[in-house]
Amino acid sequence: MSKGRHKVVIVGGGFGGLNATKSLADADVDITLVDRTNHHLFQPLLYQVAAGLLSPGLIAPALRTVVKKQRNVRTLLAEVDGFDLDKKIVYTTEPDGEPLELPYDTLIVAGGATHSYFGKDHFAEFAPGMKTIEDARYLRDAVLSKFEMAEMTTDPQERSDWLTFVVIGAGPTGVELVGQIAELAHSVLPKDYRSVDTRQARIILLEGAGAVLPPFKPELQQWAQKKLESMGVEIHLNSLAVDMDHGSITVKSPNGIETIRTRTRIWAAGVAASPLAKKLADQAGLEVDRAGRIPVNPDCTVDGRPEVFAIGDMVSLNKLPGVAQPALQEGKYIGKVIKARLAGAPAPAPFKYFDKGSMATIGYRSAVADAFGRKFTGIIAWGMWSFVHVAYLVGWGNRFGTMYNWLRGMIFTKNRGHRIITFEGAQRRVGPESTKNRAILPPETFKSPESPESIGDGEKLGESTRS
């Protein structure tokens, strides 16, 4: 990189940061793209990693590879700790703990969002959320480990505890997660287990509002609710999680307070802006909103700091939702603003969002979509959803790989190809009390051969027990 060129530091290689980087490909600038991970994460498909349908690499290509042909950018794996907007420096820490300062002429901050437990941060210990690849892998191992535990226990109550899955929050992520757990329990796993009938799993979706998919239109909400119920999901509306521990969750609803025994709680209820928003706001003398987002000007600059841009989930601008399209479009837009400035050209008009609609999958080849001013449900919506998600994945290899996995897991067989867990991994996810009531299974605990649906393809139970 040449010395003395205009220096752009971009914090975050997500939808906002990566699109800002790409839109500056033809600009006479040196870009430093810094992220605390080495990959660009396609969060909308995280739930499929959590369900063992996709491998992590398909939705998380290395940032270095994504920008390898863009000669004006270098990528760094470092944690951004703060900023000095007067000195124009970004403070970071390298993985070995060494500090690293990044000076800039233009700064773009696109740090995204994190979980919000609405002030009950201790819930995080009992109800992990899903924002990162590690989160999705953790949840996948956690869910699969519970089925393993259910196979080994001889106590009916304990088995029921292992087989009860509670997802808190019925937004798109919560709905997609329960849909996948229901498919695992009812379609994918039953023939793989000899002792436990995974179809007995109780899958519960809790929602504080009066409908599932709160951002969607009422017809789509009702359709989604009916579809989920037909898949065996119990939906508890107007229900708030008020307490939880490793063995239960307590729920407050119009019917009163109920404690549900469960070994698995998953948090899909709330988001808050990245803590970087507050750090930036403090430096700029601004206040963040209730969700921790920094306000920005109509051209995505931080007030009083024209050389500092903030975009995506961590900003509040025109009441835009915290989804991928605003981040992506803002990233492209500020590239134009910066290039116009460098060229001495007039500034582009303020940022204008183009709403391309919203979609969510409900389960096996089924989705709801609100796009082009129309509402779609079922397999047509699923087709639209699949097309859009494949199109926005980064890299043809990942697109083909994803389509292959979908064909394999959702069309030709109902299998999930990425179900690797280890003893150590399972141990971490099931907790210390899990060994009670476990025993070597006597033969009579195997599923009854009279139950034909419990017998695997071409494999009689009697045969498998003999081996």
Structural contact between residues 437 and 155, judged by C-beta atoms closer than 8 angstroms: yes
Contact call for residue 277 and ligand FAD (CB under 6 A): no
Q: DSSP character for 422?
A: -
Structural contact between residues 248 and 164, judged by C-beta atoms closer than 8 angstroms: no
Contact call for residue 13 and ligand FAD (CB under 6 A): yes
Contact call for residue 37 and ligand FAD (CB under 6 A): yes
Nearest approach in angstroms of CB 79 to ligand FAD is 5
- At residue 95, what is the residue type? P
Contact call for residue 274 and ligand FAD (CB under 6 A): yes
Near ligand FAD by CB under 6 A, which window of 83-91, 110-118, 149-157, 418-426?
Answer: 110-118
Torsion, Cα 148 151 156 157, to 10 degrees, reads 0
Nearest approach in angstroms of CB 110 to ligand FAD is 4
Task: Specify the residue, 354 or 412, whose C-beta has the smaller distance to ligand FAD.
Answer: 354
Length, in residues, of the chain: 467
Residues labelled catalytic: 176
Residue 295: strand pairing partners: 316
Structural contact between residues 226 and 258, judged by C-beta atoms closer than 8 angstroms: no
Token code pair at residue 381:
């919506």
Contact call for residue 127 and ligand FAD (CB under 6 A): no
CA angle 134–135–136, rounded 5-degree value: 90
Contact call for residue 337 and ligand FAD (CB under 6 A): no
Strands in 313-409 per DSSP E: 315-316, 358-363, 366-371, 374-377
Binding mask 80-99 for ligand FAD (x = CB under 6 A): x-------------------
- From candidates 9, 16, 29, 409, binder to ligand FAD by CB under 6 A: 16
How many residues of this chain bind ligand FAD (CB under 6 A)?
A: 33
Count of H helices and E strands in the chain?
14, 23
Contact call for residue 44 and ligand FAD (CB under 6 A): yes
State CA 145 to chain mean position distance.
20
Nearest approach in angstroms of CB 114 to ligand FAD is 8
Residue 164: strand pairing partners: 202
Near ligand FAD by CB under 6 A, which window of 108-116, 220-228, 402-410, 424-432?
Answer: 108-116
Task: Specify the residue, 27 or 49, whose C-beta has the smaller distance to ligand FAD.
Answer: 49
CA distance linking residue 295 with residue 278, whole number of Å: 10
- From candidates 8, 102, 130, 296, binder to ligand FAD by CB under 6 A: 130
Q: How far is CA 107 from CA 35, 43, 68, 82, 338, in A?
A: 14, 24, 21, 12, 10
Please list, residue by residue across 217-252, b when 16 or more beta carbons sit within 10 angstroms of its beta carbon and e when fewer do: eeebbebbbebbeebbbebbbebebeebeeebbebe
- From candidates 23, 43, 225, 264, binder to ligand FAD by CB under 6 A: 43
Q: Please give the backbone phi and psi of residue 433, each rounded to the nearest 5 degrees, phi first.
A: -80, 0
Place of tokens 């920094």: 294
Binding mask 171-210 for ligand FAD (x = CB under 6 A): -xx-------------------------------------
Q: How far is CA 116 from CA 124, 169, 270, in A?
A: 9, 12, 5
CA distance linking residue 164 with residue 202, whole number of Å: 5
- From candidates 27, 110, 149, 220, binder to ligand FAD by CB under 6 A: 110
Residues from 312 through 331 that contact ligand FAD (CB under 6 A): 312-313, 322-325, 327
Near ligand FAD by CB under 6 A, which window of 37-45, 67-75, 118-126, 193-201?
Answer: 37-45
Contact call for residue 46 and ligand FAD (CB under 6 A): yes
Task: Specify the residue, 43 or 153, whose C-beta has the smaller distance to ligand FAD.
Answer: 43
CA distance linking residue 253 with residue 182, whole number of Å: 23
Near ligand FAD by CB under 6 A, which window of 28-36, 153-161, 291-299, 458-466?
Answer: 28-36
Binding mask 216-255 for ligand FAD (x = CB under 6 A): ----------------------------------------
Contact call for residue 370 and ligand FAD (CB under 6 A): no
Residues that bind ligand FAD (CB under 6 A): 11-17, 34-37, 41, 43-44, 46, 79-80, 110-112, 130-131, 172-173, 274, 276, 312-313, 322-325, 327
